[in-house]
Amino acid sequence: MTKWKIILLVCLTSCVFPKDPENSFEEARRNELLVGVVENPPFTMVEDSTFSGSEVEMLRKFATKEGLKISFKEGSESKLVKQLEEFEIHVVIGGITKKTIWKKKAGMTVPYDKEHVYLIPKGENRLLKHLEDFIFQQKKQQP
């Protein structure tokens, strides 16, 4: 019986969940949360280098809750997903649905409504956990 307890203990201590191989969440804490924005009103809008829209506001609330500085960068979906894959940005927003063509190249949060998600780098589970915890809290607060 002791042998199994030792094996179980080794297995449990070797598991560090959530894994974050590129340390996206910790990098965002040290520097800033880098958000790629695809213009798609009413979710995301860009006017004179000013970013607005429901997703922008939601991420601002997330950043405030987590004590993160936030920086937005506009681009096309394909360009921003490429930057996400290369860990140059942390999140992509722009009215992206859970049926997106990018699901093989990017990770996705749970939908914050019934259909729309945020894209994150694949494998960045700590960032995903914090974002999803925030999404669940927002859903609870809605009437």
Give all domains of the chain, ordered by start, each with its CATH number: 25-141 (3.40.190.10)
The whole-chain average pLDDT of the chain stands at: 88
Token representation of residue 111? 């939908």
- How many residues are present in the chain? 143
pLDDT digits (tens, 9 = 90+) for 45-77: 999 889 999 999 999 999 999 999 999 999 999
pLDDT tens per residue across span 6-17? 555 555 555 545
Cis status of the peptide bond prior to 18, with omega within 30 of 0: yes
Q: Percentage of the chain with pLDDT > 90?
A: 71
- At position 135, the amino acid (one-letter code) is I
Q: How confident is the model at residue 139 (pLDDT cuts 50, 70, 90)?
A: confident
Say what angle helices 54-66 and 125-141 make with each other, to 10 degrees.
110
Confidence tier at 124 by pLDDT (50, 70, 90): confident
Which long-range contacts (C-beta less than 8 Å, at least 24 apart) are formed by 108-115? 109/135, 110/135, 110/136, 112/58, 112/138, 112/139
